[in-house]
Structure 1
């Protein structure tokens, strides 16, 4: 069984660029204020969601392992 991720968007940082929706249309939605939110807060690990987090121009997307809370993105330094 693969990893499960907890996906969060810091709506105070999100600028509504829509890059996350472009990278992972099944993983993110923009609301009427153009603020991003995950389609599902917990999801199977997948490259599209990771690409969305990596491509966010303001790094508003955080991904952690659902089971342990360990950071996936951004990586802990």
Structure 2
């Protein structure tokens, strides 16, 4: 499973980073950086929360 960022939609709210700090972070410029796009089984629950809390639906799982 992968987490995909729709960069143009992302507004840098940071809610996803709070939900999944081991998978993503906001860079110094306020841009979201996906640290691990390919998810291990143990990451999927956090990734689902991150996708769910994004207020602009900039994240999705495939």
TM bin, normalised by shorter chain, reads 0.7 to 0.9
- Judging by fraction of residues, say which structure has more helix: 2
From 7, 17, 20, the equivalent of 1:11 is 7
From 31, 37, 45, the equivalent of 1:47 is 45
Q: Structure 1 residue runs of 4+, over 6 Å off? A: none
Q: Alpha-carbon deviation of 1:41?
A: 1.2
Residues 51-76 of structure 1: per-residue CA shift (max 9 Å, x gap):
00011000000110xxxxxxxxxxxx
Equivalent pairs counted in the alignment come to 60
- Judging by fraction of residues, say which structure has more strand: 1
Residues 8-30 of structure 1: per-residue CA shift (max 9 Å, x gap):
11110000000011001101111
What TM-score, normalized to structure 1? 0.71
Highest relative contact order (Cα 8 Å, sep 6+), 1 or 2? Answer: 2
Which consecutive unaligned segments of at least 5 residues does structure 2 have? Answer: none
C-alpha separation between the residues in 2 aligned to 1:62 and 1:24? 13
